Amino acid sequence: MPETRDKTRDTNKRLTSDEVKERNVLLKKMDENGDYIRIKHDLYAKLLQDDAWRERMLQQTRECVHRRGLGL
């Protein structure tokens, strides 16, 4: 019997290619000013706290990208 996973559910959890590009620009800027290391440590702590870290990170990334209004 073929797998009947809901493809839209998986797609909604992934960042779009534009969001990925904007995220990468933001991460590069954060790396240049030293914020990347601090955030990396914070994310690791959140990972250890519970299993919903991935969904929260995707949501936080989207919010940050949209707040910053980075355009490519």
Per-residue model confidence as pLDDT tens digits over 21-62: 998 998 888 888 888 788 888 877 777 776 677 778 788 888
22 burial (CB, 10 Å; 0-12 / 13-18 / 19+) is buried
User: How do the residues of the chain divide into helix, strand and coil, expressed in percent and rounded to 5?
Assistant: 75, 0, 25
Distances from the Cα of 27 to the Cα of 17, 31, 33, angstroms = 15, 6, 10
pLDDT at 70 over 70: no
* Cα–Cα distance, 13 to 71 (Å, whole number): 22
What is the predicted pLDDT for the residue at 59? 86
Q: Which residue did the predictor score with more confidence, 55 or 15?
A: 15
Predicted TM-score (pTM) above 0.85: no
The three-class DSSP label of residue 3 is coil
